[in-house]
C-alpha cells in the first residue's frame, strides 16, 4: 500500500511539474504576442535567409542574418531582442517553441542581445560556448579570439578547445568582460575592457520587448 501511495505521489508531482512548465510556455507565448515581432530597424544591406531585410519583416528561429559593410539590424524574436553589427553572420537555432531562440552562432561580426528570464540558451563562436539565462550580453569576433561582455545577469564561459577552463560570470553592469581564446594560448580566458556597446543600446533593446534594464542608468 505504501509503495502504491509513493508511486501515486511521484506521478502527481511529475504531472504538476509538467503542467507548470506548460503554463510557463503558454505565458511566454502570450507575452511574445504582445510584443511587436520582426525587424524594428535596418540600415544598409541586410539579408535574412537571403531576403532583403525591411521593417516588420519577421525573423524566425532557424534564420540566418547577414549584414554588409556599414549595415545594422535591430530585431525581435519572441521575447528576445538583438542588435546585429555590420559585417556579421548570425545563425539563430530553434528552441522549444515557435518563437523561442534556443541557441545562436556568431560566425563573424558582433551581436548585442537581451534575453527574457527563464529560458536557458547558448551562444557559440569559433572559440567559445556561452551558456546564458535572462542576460544582456555583447559578443564580438576579434581575429582568433572572442570578446564577451556579460552586461548584466549570469553567463557560463566555456573555451571550446579546453572546457575545463570554464568560468561563471555574474554581473550587474558590464563588470567582467572577457576574451575567450582557442587552443595554443597559455590562458584560455582573460580579462577585457568594455568596448563597442552602450547602455543606450541595451535600454533600446529592452524597451522593444517591454522591459527595462536591471540597473539605474542615471548612476553611470
Fold for domain 37-214?
A: Jelly Rolls (2.60.120)
Phi, psi of 162 (to 5 degrees): -155, 80
Q: What phi, psi does 215 have (nearest 5°)?
A: -130, 165
**To which residue does cell 518563437 refer?**
99
Question: How confident is the model at residue 44, as a pLDDT?
Answer: 98
Average of per-residue pLDDT values in the chain = 88
Q: Structure pTM? A: 0.84
What pLDDT is recorded for position 99? 81
> CB neighbours of 44 closer than 8 A, spacing ≥ 6?
67, 68, 69, 70, 71, 72, 86
CA distances (Å), origin 38, targets 44, 74, 75: 17, 9, 5
18-36 per-position pLDDT tens digit: 434 444 443 444 444 679 9
pLDDT in tens, 136-171: 999 999 999 999 999 999 999 999 999 999 999 999
Q: Which of 162, 108, 161 is nearest to 139 (CA)?
A: 108
Residue with cell 558582433: 110
- Give residue limits of the domains in the chain: 1-34, 37-214
Alpha-carbon gap, residue 203 to 107, rounded angstroms: 25
Q: Say what percent of the chain tops pLDDT 90.
A: 76
Spatial distance between the Cα atoms of 217 and 195, rounded to a whole number of angstroms: 18
CB 101 within 8 A of CB 61: yes
Amino acid at each position: 500500500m505504501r509503495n502504491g501511495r509513493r508511486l501515486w505521489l511521484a506521478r502527481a508531482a511529475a504531472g504538476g511539474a509538467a503542467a507548470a512548465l506548460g503554463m510557463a510556455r503558454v505565458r511566454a507565448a502570450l507575452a511574445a504576442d504582445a510584443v511587436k515581432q520582426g525587424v524594428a530597424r535596418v540600415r544598409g544591406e541586410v539579408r535574412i535567409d537571403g531576403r532583403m531585410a525591411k521593417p516588420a519583416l519577421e525573423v524566425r528561429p532557424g534564420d540566418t542574418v547577414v549584414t554588409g559593410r556599414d549595415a545594422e539590424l535591430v530585431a525581435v524574436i519572441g521575447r528576445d531582442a538583438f542588435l546585429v553589427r555590420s559585417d556579421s553572420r548570425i545563425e539563430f537555432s530553434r528552441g522549444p517553441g515557435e518563437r523561442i531562440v534556443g541557441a545562436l552562432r556568431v560566425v563573424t561580426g558582433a551581436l548585442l542581445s537581451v534575453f527574457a528570464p527563464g529560458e536557458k540558451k547558448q551562444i557559440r563562436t569559433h572559440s567559445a560556448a556561452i551558456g546564458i539565462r535572462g542576460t544582456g550580453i555583447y559578443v564580438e569576433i576579434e581575429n582568433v579570439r572572442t570578446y564577451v561582455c556579460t552586461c548584466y545577469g549570469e553567463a557560463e564561459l566555456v573555451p571550446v578547445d579546453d572546457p575545463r577552463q570554464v568560468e561563471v560570470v555574474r554581473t550587474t553592469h558590464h563588470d567582467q568582460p572577457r576574451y575567450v581564446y582557442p587552443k595554443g594560448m597559455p590562458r584560455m580566458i582573460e580579462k577585457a575592457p568594455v568596448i563597442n556597446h552602450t547602455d543606450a543600446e541595451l535600454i533600446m533593446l529592452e524597451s522593444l520587448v517591454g522591459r527595462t534594464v536591471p540597473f539605474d542608468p542615471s548612476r553611470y
